[in-house]
Chain A
Amino acid sequence: MIRFIENIIRSAVDATVDKAVTRMIRDQYTENLFELVPATTKVGTTNLMEIAMRANQGTSVSRPLGSPIHLSPWEKILFNPCHLFRFPTPENVGIQTSVTIGQRARKPLTLSIPVMIAAMSFGGALSKSTKIALAKAATAVGTATNSGEAGLLEEEREAAHLFIGQYNRGGWMNTPDKYMRLDAIEIQLGQGAQGSSPQRTTAKNIGEDYREVFGLQHGEDALIHSRLPGVNTKEDFIQLVRRLRDESGVPVGLKIAATHHLEKELAIAVEAGVDFVTVDGAEGGTHGGSPTLQDDVGLPTLFAVARTSDFFMRKRVMGDIQLLATGGLVTPGKMLKALALGADAVYIGTAAVMALASEQMVKTVPFEPPTSLVVYSGKMTDQLDVEQAALNLTRYLNACMQEMEQVAISLGKTAIADIAKSDLCTIDPFLAKATGIQLGMVSSEEQEQFFVDTQPAFDDDRPYEHQPVEFSEKQL
């Protein structure tokens, strides 16, 4: 019987496909359904759907989890294992993974691993149970979690042994009764996915618990300003940093969206005496921001890390000011490359949320997206098993660290913090030039000569297009 039904279905599918293919071949292109294929290829599937959403909604589209565009060419950078010139680390030697943030502060913050949970706010982004699960996992592995732009959520503070809070543009963490209870204060002036643009959560999307944590009145919107209230000059910022450092004693840092103005921003941060700087690259995620802010604004994470690290080196503040990198670091390889380029620790957001929801996403698909389990306005947040979610993230963080430790052993290092730019090579000459990573195509001794010989290629206006190189007689 089943065989009979199968044969009928096969015949029907065969006839339909035959008819469709024949029609696509015979029809004029303008009347042809196949037109969708080149049109979608030209515009892009994501762009096509977002055009339709804009046309339907008439307002800025809110896209979760950040830009799908990969602007940091991490895949063109590779680690250099060693065998004889330097020996690999014996396997019975433990790799030191801890890192201290704010070594100049009265109460430095020491983490067991250099990977932290990124700033994702309760209410503005995630549900209470998700924030608690993130905090529990962070505690289990001995790292910190970040409040995001929110008020102080008591349950999160309780679950997190190490809690970094954002002194934010909404003002919800900016009173001593709240920031004095933090293990580090991160002054949030911007983020990779949204720059320094203002954001608003309308009152209709704000529940009772949200209102309570944020101190909002009934019917009041939650508004994140483009500027930090009270900080309108460079001097205001410097005073704020000094006041928070004196009052709290914990590390005080600055978080910014990485931009081409980076060094100018960093110079002020150094002058203010911050303990750490968090640079959020253009690949940074968010609960829901406009595609234009996500895709077309900011500096990619890789270059942000390399430039900040170089700047700190030039200013001789390496070791005094820690560099925290974030934005699109979704694999242990990318995290470790950011650390090798000079970051002291990294934040992960999207990857952490995905790891957290991983085994439970079967509760949502195929009718709802997995994010409906974790975002504040999600339809299925009550179905998230907090303990299971925390366990999944704990396992994920452990697996990431294990993979990083494997690389460290292969590099002959005994501490993750010892992995440096010299442990990397790149297969892209322009990346080598820009970041100071050695070019893997030629030996260390030939690096300089290679760039002298190929100078005409670098003088060209179109760096990523292949150009024939003409050598002078002298060069040959």
Chain B
Amino acid sequence: MSNRNDLKNTLSYLHSELNRIETMAGTLSTVEREHFNKLTNFDHRELMDIAVEEQNAARQLGAIKQMCLAMAQKIEGMKKALDHGEPGERTQHDPVH
């Protein structure tokens, strides 16, 4: 019983941290996009390349956000399975988008 509770607590912790990472990734992605806009104001080749890097980083943070969302959904499924007395095994994954 104690083990089951430990597992539930761990899953809850992972779930809340994933939600936090998701929010952070979203915020950072917005910041990166703003940096892109600022950097493209200068007619400078090297700054333009940095701007491109910023935009690529923004998209990768967007991907991290989606991955966190998908993982949080899986953990939610595992928590529900535990609540229903199942050992947390799921063969089907939740859709991520």
Contacts and interface: CB of A to CB of B under 8 A. Distances in A.
A402 B33 CA distance: 12
A140 interface: yes
Interface stretch (A93-101, A289-297, A437-445, A451-459): A93-101
A94 B62 contact: yes
A103 B95 contact: yes
B28 to A, nearest CB: 11
A183 to B, nearest CB: 14
Contact of B29 (A94, A319, A402): A94
A98 B63 CA distance: 5
Contact of B58 (A94, A99, A104, A417): A94
A111 B93 contact: no
Interface stretch (A261-269, A300-308, A372-380, A391-399): A391-399
Contacts of B49: 391, 395
A415 interface: yes
B87 to A, nearest CB: 17
B63 A142 contact: yes
Nearest to B29: A94
A100 B59 contact: no
B97 A100 contact: yes
Contact of A100 (B56, B66, B92): B66
B33 A100 contact: no
Given A94-B29, A100-B66, A112 B97 contact: no
Contacts of B63: 97-98, 110-112, 142
A108 interface: yes
B97 A415 contact: yes
Nearest to A344: B97
B82 interface: no
Contacts of A395: 49, 52
A415 B62 CA distance: 10
Contacts of A270: none
B60 interface: yes
Contacts of B56: 112, 140-142, 394, 398
Interface in A53-78: none
Contact of B55 (A103, A104, A398): A398
A98 B60 CA distance: 8
Interface string A411-429: 0000101000000000000
A50 B55 CA distance: 44
B67 interface: yes
B92 A104 contact: yes
Nearest to B30: A94
A13 B95 CA distance: 71
A228 to B, nearest CB: 28
A103 B62 contact: no
Most chain A CB within 10 A, of B29, B30, B62, B67, is at: B62
B93 A96 contact: no
14 contacts: A94-B62, A96-B62, A96-B65, A96-B66, A98-B62, A100-B67, A103-B95, A108-B93, A110-B63, A110-B67, A112-B59, A141-B60, A142-B63, A395-B52
